[in-house]
C-alpha cells in the first residue's frame, strides 16, 4: 500500500486511493450500503460526494444514515451516533435491516477469497491449531447471506490471499451454500466485485466464478493470473482500470481523510 | 418500584458472581463494563465462562488475570485498534494454557440472547449455510423447516447466570436508561438469571418517568444498581466521555508482553480500590482530552388526557 501507481495530471494516486475510487464508482446507483470503517467508509463518503449523493451508510453497531462531523475510528463511535438518522438495537439491525433484505451492497474484507467469492476471516492454517487466529466472523456471514451483493476489498493479491482452497470458510458463496444442502439460501448473489492492488474482478451472477475485468495501470493480465491460486478467468474485453479523477483524489486527501488515517 | 437495589461494586460482584458461572459482559464498542470486570479480577473469580460478542480489551484483561476458562464470542479483535495478544497466545500457542472458545457470528450471539430472553430453546437464522463454522461449533445445528422446504440453522438459547451492563443512568430500583449504540444489552439482561447494572449516574425515579421510552432495561429484570462514574473507560459513554483511542492502541504493546500485562493489572486493578481510584489515577489531563461537546436531544411531549 501507499506506493504511487498512476500518474494523474497534478496528482499521483496511491494504490489505496485507487482502490477507494474504484469502489466509489461501483457504488453508483446503489441505495443502502452496509460497511465497516476504513477503506469502505472512505469509498461511501467519496461516492456521496461524486456519483451517488443519496447513498445511505449503515453500520454494524446499528447506526443508520450517519452524518458524522469527523472521521470515525470504529463502527461504534460517538461521532457516528450524534446526528444519525436512526440508531437501532443489534436485533433490529441484523434481524430486520439485514435479514429483512434492506441492504443493497455489503462491504467485506478477508484474509482469503476463493474463485466463487467465499471468504476466510477466521484462521490461517488448521482451524483446530491455527498458525494465525484472525478476528473471525463478526457480522460477515450475515452480510454475505443477506445483502443483495457484496463488494470485497483485498489488501493483497497473491497465492496466500487468493488460494485454490480456503484454509477455512467463514462466509460462504452461494455455490458453497448450495453444495452443503443445509440451511436457508442466500438472499442475494454473494460477492459481485473484488478490488485488489492489481485489478478488479467481478462475478456476473450467484453461481458464476470471479472474472478479471480490469487491470490497474502498469499491471499485466499475466501478472494477475500468476498471483492467483487458481486458473483465473479473464474477460474477453479486459481493460485498464480508469484512474481516479483529480477531483476524487483531492476530495480524499483534502476533505475526507485529511489526517490520512486510512489512506496510508 | 420503590425497592432499593443500590449496592457497592464490591458487594454486587461478591453477591452475584461466583466461581464457575456463565457471565455476560455486553456493550458493543460503547458502554463496556470495565469497572465491573476490574472488580471481578480483584475478587479473583475463577473458571468463568465469559460471553461477549466482541471480546475487546476487557476480555484480554479478565483472561490474563486467570478469571476465565471459556470464551463465548463472535469477534476476536479490539475494534479497529490492534490485537488482543493474551487471547492470541491462548489460542495460537496455548500459552500459558489453552482457552476453550465457542464461536458464533454476531447475529448468532444476538439470536442466542434473544432466545434466552424469550424463554425459547433456540432461535433460527439465515446464516451458516455452506460455512465451516458448524464444523468447529457443533451447537450450530439445522432443523427441518416445518412450514416449507429445506432446513434452517438454529443457535441454542444463551442464559447467563449473570449479565453485567454499563449505562448512562438508572433509578435506585433499577430502571436503566441508555442512549447511543445499544448493542444486545436488553436481550442479554432479559436472558440472565441475575442482572447487574453499572451506571454513570443514579437519578430520581421522576427523571426516568419523564422519558419512559428511554428505559432499555426495566427494574423488573435488574438485581443490583452500582454507581461507577467513568467506569466504562477506556470505552466511551455517549454524551459523557469519549473512547480512549490512545489506550486502545497502547494495549497492543501492553498485551504483547505477558510481564508488562501482569504489571498493568497490578498497577491499574489490584493496587486500586475501585473505579474512583482508577479515574483519579488517569488524571485530569486524560479526562480533559476525553471530554465531549454538548448535543442535547430535542424534547418530546408525553402529555396524555387530563
Percent of chain B residues past pLDDT 70, beyond the cut: 98
Q: CB distance from B190 to chain A under 8 Å?
A: no
Pairwise CB contact (< 8 Å): B76 & A135 = yes
Angstrom distance (rounded) from CA B27 to CA B183: 6
Q: Is B133 on the interface with A (CB under 8 A)?
A: yes
Cβ within 8 Å of A, B 282-301: 292, 295
Residue B104, chain A, CB below 8 Å: the answer is: yes
Is A60 a catalytic site residue?
yes
Q: What is the pLDDT of residue A7?
A: 47
CB A122 within 8 A of CB A155: no
Q: B77 to each of B40, B139, B197, B236, how far by Cα in Å?
A: 22, 23, 25, 17
Task: Enter the pTM of the model.
Answer: 0.95
CB contact under 8 A, A78 and B81: no
**Looking at CA atoms only, how far is residue B293 from chain A in angstroms?**
11
B91–A75 C-beta distance less than 8 A: no
Mean pLDDT for all residues in chain B:
95
Q: Which residue of A has its CA nearest to B179?
A: A87
User: What 3-state class would DSSP assign to B22?
Assistant: strand
| C-alpha dihedral sign at B3, B4, B7, B11 | negative
d(CA B134, CA B178): 35
HEC per residue, chain A: CCCEEEEECCEEEEHHHHHHHHHHHHCCCCCEEECCCCHHHHHHHHHHHCCCCCCEEECCCCEECCCCCCCCCCCCCHHHHCCCCEECCHHHHHHHHHCCCCCCEEEECCCEECCCCCEECCEECCCCCCCEECCCCCCHHHHHHHCCEEEEECCCCCCCCCCCCCCCCCECCHHHHHHHCCCCCCCCCCEEEEECCCEEEECCCCCCCCEEEEECCCCCHHHHHHHCCCCCEEEEEEEECCCCCHHHHHHHHHHHCCCCCCCC
Residue among A60, A142, A149, A211 flagged as catalytic? A60
**What's the rounded Cα separation, in Å, for the pair A110 and A133?**
13
Cell numbers 489505496 correspond to A16
Q: Which of B185, B147, B190, B151 is nearest to B166 (CA)?
A: B185
What number of residues does chain A have?
Answer: 264
Query: Which residues of chain A does B131 touch, with a Cβ-Cβ cutoff of 8 Å?
Result: 141, 169-172
For residue B242, the chain A residue with the least C-alpha distance is: A78
Q: Could A61 and B181 be called an inter-chain contact, meaning their C-beta atoms sit closer than 8 Å?
A: yes
| pLDDT tens over chain A, length 264 residues | 445 554 445 678 898 999 999 999 999 999 999 987 788 889 999 999 999 999 999 999 999 998 887 878 788 889 889 999 999 999 999 999 999 999 999 999 999 999 999 999 999 999 988 888 888 999 999 999 999 999 999 989 999 999 999 999 999 999 999 999 999 999 999 999 999 999 999 999 999 999 999 999 999 999 999 999 999 999 999 999 999 999 999 999 999 888 787 887
CATH superfamily of A4-256: Glutaconate Coenzyme A-transferase (3.40.1080.10)
Rounded Cα distance between A55 and A143, Å, is 18
| Domain limits, chain A | 4-256
Whether pLDDT at B1 is above 70: no
- Least CA distance to A171: which residue of chain B? B131
The domain ranges of chain B are: 9-106+158-289, 122-156
- pLDDT, tens only, B157-190: 999 999 999 999 999 999 999 999 999 999 999 9
CB proximity B251 to A under 8 Å: no
Rounded CA-CA distance A93/A90 in Å is 5
* For residues B120-134, average pLDDT: 98
Query: Under an 8 A CB cutoff, do A142 and B88 touch?
Result: no
Mean pLDDT on B98-117: 96
Chain A interface includes B180 (CB < 8 A) = yes
pLDDT at residue B95 in the model: 82
CB neighbour list of residue B199: distance below 8 Å, 6 or more residues apart? B166, B167, B168, B169, B170, B176, B225, B226, B227, B228
Q: Do B126 and A187 touch (CB under 8 A)?
A: yes
| Nearest neighbour of A183 by CB, restricted to B29, B153, B236 | B153
d(CA A174, CA A35) in angstroms, rounded, equals 21
C-alpha A192: how far from its chain's center?
10
Beta-carbon contacts of residue B198 (< 8 Å; ≥ 6 apart): B9, B33, B35, B36, B164, B165, B166, B167, B226, B227, B228, B231
Position of cell 504483547?
B256
Strand partners, A6: A13
ipTM above 0.85, yes or no: yes
What does the DSSP assignment read for B90-137? Answer: IIII--SS--EEEE--HHHHHHHHHHHHTT-SEEEES--TT-SHHHH-
User: How far is B284 from B293, CA to CA, in rounded Å?
Assistant: 17
With contacts defined as CB-CB under 8 Å, which chain B residues touch A178? 130
Q: Are B229 and B195 in contact (CB under 8 A)?
A: no
Mutate to test the interface with B, among A135, A183, A259 (most CBs of B within 10 A): A183
> A with B: how many residue pairs have Cβ under 8 Å apart?
180
Asked if the Cβ–Cβ distance from A90 to B110 is below 8 Å, we say yes
B66 touches chain A (CB under 8 A): no
Q: Does B184 touch chain A (CB under 8 A)?
A: yes
Q: What's the CATH fold of domain B9-106+158-289?
A: Glutaconate Coenzyme A-transferase (3.40.1080)
Question: Given an 8 Å threshold on Cβ–Cβ distance, is A142 in contact with B106?
Answer: yes
Amino acid at each position: 500500500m501507499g506506493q504511487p501507481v498512476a500518474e494523474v495530471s497534478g496528482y499521483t494516486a496511491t494504490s489505496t486511493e485507487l482502490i477507494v475510487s474504484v469502489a466509489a464508482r461501483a457504488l453508483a446507483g446503489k441505495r443502502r450500503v452496509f460497511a465497516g470503517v476504513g477503506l469502505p467508509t472512505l469509498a461511501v463518503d467519496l461516492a456521496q460526494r461524486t456519483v451517488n449523493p443519496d447513498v445511505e451508510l449503515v453500520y454494524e453497531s446499528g447506526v443508520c444514515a450517519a452524518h458524522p462531523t469527523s472521521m470515525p475510528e470504529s463502527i461504534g463511535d460517538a461521532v457516528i451516533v450524534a446526528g444519525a438518522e436512526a440508531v437501532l438495537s443489534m436485533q433490529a439491525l441484523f434481524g430486520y435491516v439485514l435479514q429483512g433484505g434492506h441492504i443493497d451492497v455489503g462491504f467485506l474484507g478477508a484474509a482469503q477469497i476463493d474463485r466463487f467469492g467465499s471468504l476466510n476471516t477466521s484462521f490461517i492454517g488448521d482451524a483446530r491449531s491455527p498458525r494465525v487466529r484472525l478476528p473471525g466472523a463478526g457480522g460477515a456471514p450475515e452480510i454475505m447471506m443477506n445483502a443483495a451483493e457484496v463488494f470485497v476489498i483485498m489488501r493483497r493479491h497473491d497465492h496466500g490471499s487468493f488460494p485454490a482452497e480456503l484454509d477455512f470458510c467463514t462466509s460462504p458463496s452461494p455455490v458453497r451454500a448450495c453444495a452443503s444442502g443445509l440451511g436457508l439460501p442466500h438472499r442475494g448473489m454473494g460477492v459481485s466485485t473484488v478490488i485488489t492492488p492489481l485489478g478488479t474482478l467481478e462475478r456476473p451472477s450467484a453461481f458464476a466464478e470471479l472474472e478479471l475485468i480490469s487491470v490497474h495501470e502498469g499491471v499485466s493480465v499475466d501478472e494477475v493470473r500468476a498471483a492467483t491460486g487458481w486458473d483465473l478467468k479473464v474477460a474477453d474485453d479486459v481493460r485498464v482500470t480508469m484512474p481516479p479523477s483529480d477531483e476524487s483524489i483531492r476530495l480524499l486527501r483534502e476533505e475526507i481523510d485529511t489526517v490520512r488515517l486510512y489512506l496510508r | 418500584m420503590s425497592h432499593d437495589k443500590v449496592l457497592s461494586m464490591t458487594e454486587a460482584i461478591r453477591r452475584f458472581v461466583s466461581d464457575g458461572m456463565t457471565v455476560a459482559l455486553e456493550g458493543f464498542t460503547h458502554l463496556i463494563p470495565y469497572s465491573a470486570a476490574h472488580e471481578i479480577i480483584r475478587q479473583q473469580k475463577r473458571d468463568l465462562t465469559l460471553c461477549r460478542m466482541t471480546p475487546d480489551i476487557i476480555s484480554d484483561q479478565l483472561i490474563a488475570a486467570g478469571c476465565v476458562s471459556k470464551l463465548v464470542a463472535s469477534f476476536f479483535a479490539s475494534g479497529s485498534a490492534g490485537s488482543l495478544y493474551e487471547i492470541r497466545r491462548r489460542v495460537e500457542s496455548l500459552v500459558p494454557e489453552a482457552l476453550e472458545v465457542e464461536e458464533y457470528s454476531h447475529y448468532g450471539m444476538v439470536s442466542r440472547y434473544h432466545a434466552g430472553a424469550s424463554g425459547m430453546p433456540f432461535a433460527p437464522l439465515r446464516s451458516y449455510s455452506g460455512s465451516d463454522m458448524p464444523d468447529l461449533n457443533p451447537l450450530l445445528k439445522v432443523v427441518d423447516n416445518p412450514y416449507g422446504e429445506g432446513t434452517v440453522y438454529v443457535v441454542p438459547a444463551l442464559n447467563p447466570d449473570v449479565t453485567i451492563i454499563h449505562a448512562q443512568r438508572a433509578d435506585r430500583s433499577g430502571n436503566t436508561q441508555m442512549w447511543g449504540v445499544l448493542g444486545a444489552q436488553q436481550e442479554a439482561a432479559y436472558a440472565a438469571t441475575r442482572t447487574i447494572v453499572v451506571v454513570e449516574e443514579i437519578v430520581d425515579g421522576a427523571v426516568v418517568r419523564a422519558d419512559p421510552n428511554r428505559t432499555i432495561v426495566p427494574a423488573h429484570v435488574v438485581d443490583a444498581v452500582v454507581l461507577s462514574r467513568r467506569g466504562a473507560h477506556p470505552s466511551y459513554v455517549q454524551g459523557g466521555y469519549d473512547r480512549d483511542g490512545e489506550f486502545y492502541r497502547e494495549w497492543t504493546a501492553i498485551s504483547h508482553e505477558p510481564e508488562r500485562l501482569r504489571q498493568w493489572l497490578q498497577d491499574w486493578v489490584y493496587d486500586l480500590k475501585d473505579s474512583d481510584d482508577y479515574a483519579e489515577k488517569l488524571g485530569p489531563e486524560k479526562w480533559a482530552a476525553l471530554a465531549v461537546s454538548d448535543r442535547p436531544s430535542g424534547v418530546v411531549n408525553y402529555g396524555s388526557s387530563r
